[in-house]
Amino acid sequence: MNMDKQPGMMGQKKGNKDGENTKKGNLFLLPAVVLAAVLLLYFFPENREKTLKASYNFFIEIVLILPGVLVLTGLFSAWVKNETVVKYLGHASGFGGVALSFFLGMIPTGPLYVAFPIAGSLLKKGARTSNIIIFLSSWACIKLPQELVEMRFMGIKFMVLRLIFTILLVYLMGLFIEKAAGLNRAKRNDES
Amino acid sequence: MEINYTVVFINAAAVIGLGLSFYKNKQKTRQALKVAVKGLVKMAPAILILLILVGLIMGFFKPEIISSLLGDQSGALGIALASVAGAILMIPSLIAFPLTASLVESGASIGVAAAFITTLTMIGFVTLPIEIKEMGKKLTLLRNGLSFIIAVGIALIMGALL
């Protein structure tokens, strides 16, 4: 019903379908997690304080970060044209698209869960699956400040070697996942 | 420290972006905010799960347990254990590297350290619900599964090289 109100959003249809699927999953998962937490905290009262404090700290972190991320994602979906994303990150973007995906991920901008909404909207706007996988992986483990900390604690040899192998394997993984998920993607493009 | 920087950066970008957007086109700005609110509603259950799991993991798993489990582990079993531990735990990288360094000091092999760091950063067990919501089940499972394999691969290569 509310789909009709936003004709500008591509892939909305598919998005809703996915949402319903996972909503069912969460309906089961959420009570299960809550029950597990209540039982654990009941039987191990000595861990209560630490658990609640960790959850609280994390809650603060999310409250401070998430609204900004969601607003940015909203602005992105309203202002950036699909053609622009397709041009720079789509199937014809080639090596430049790969490099851009690595680079976008490397910019130090917070924890991985921040990247999921961004990656999701890039996908909806026509970015190549392999580039999005590269973007997420690079966001996860090729952060500039993180590499410096790694160098300090683990040595430069460890850091450089791990970086090289990560870049290589992440690139291959992107291509492989795109192939594996390929059929699905083609169908989605037909729908929208 | 890391968080403060992130908070300032993201919120400044959001506020400036919103201001510019509103100045240029009210209609589009309204649409953007609608998308943002919808995203929040969509993510809310997954975020609740994430909050509870992070609390439980931080409250029940102690760094000492990891050290004692992986301390002098090396070889295949050590790499397997380290990969699983890294996939489940969610530790900020600023704490993760000193922890890993202490693992190596207490006898863990380089391969174990590489496996731990790689799965720790690339795989988010607790963020799976959010990732599925945004990326779909198929891509999420493929990415996390393959990242796990990659982590083990990197660990084996580095263990052989260093």
Nearby residues of B77 by Cβ (< 8 Å), 6 or more positions away: none
DSSP state of B99: H
Between A113, A136, A143, which is nearest B130 by CB? A113
Min Cα distance B35 → chain A (Å) is 5
- Write the Ramachandran bin of B138: left for phi over 0, alpha for psi from -120 to 50, otherwise beta: alpha
Contact A44 B143 (CB under 8 A): no
CB-based burial, A34-57: b 16+ in 10 Å, e otherwise: eeebeeebeeeeebeeebeebbee
What's the CA gap between A1 and A191, in Å, rounded?
A: 18
* ipTM, 2 dp: 0.82
Cβ-based contacts of A48 with chain B (< 8 Å): 59
Domain ranges of chain A: 80-192
pLDDT given at position A7: 40
**Which range, of A68-77, A114-123, A166-175, B91-100, averages the lowest pLDDT?**
B91-100
Q: Residue A112: exposed, middle, or buried by beta-carbon count in 10 A (0-12, 13-18, 19+)?
A: buried
**Which range, of A13-22, A34-43, A62-71, B77-86, averages the lowest pLDDT?**
A13-22
pLDDT given at position B93: 65
Cβ-based contacts of B52 with chain A (< 8 Å): 33-34, 37, 55
> Terminus-to-terminus CA distance in chain A, angstroms?
17
Interface of B with A in 93-152 (CB under 8 A): 93-94, 97-98, 100-101, 104, 110, 113-114, 117-118, 121-122, 124, 127, 129-139, 142-143, 146-147, 150
pLDDT of B25 over the 70 cut = yes
Distances, alpha carbon A192 to alpha carbons A114, A184, B5, B113, in Å: 26, 13, 39, 45
Interface test with B, best of A169, A175, A177, A183 (most B CBs within 10 A): A169
Interface of A with B in 102-161 (CB under 8 A): 108-114, 116-117, 119-120, 123, 129, 132-133, 136-137, 140-141, 143, 145-146, 149-150, 152-154, 157-158, 161
pLDDT in tens, A122-168: 999 999 999 999 999 998 888 877 888 888 888 999 999 989 999 99
Min Cα distance A115 → chain B (Å) is 9
**Closest to B97 in 3D by CA, of B80, B109, B113, B119:** B113
User: With an 8 Å Cβ cutoff, is A166 touching chain B?
Assistant: yes
Distances, alpha carbon A37 to alpha carbons A23, A31, A34, A59, A149, in Å: 21, 10, 5, 16, 34
User: With an 8 Å Cβ cutoff, is B59 touching chain A?
Assistant: yes
Min Cα distance A96 → chain B (Å) is 22
Between A75, A110, A114, which is nearest B21 by CB? A75
**Closest to B18 in 3D by CA, of A139, A47, A75, A51:** A75
**Which range, of A4-18, B46-60, B114-128, averages the lowest pLDDT?**
A4-18
pLDDT of A9 over the 60 cut = no
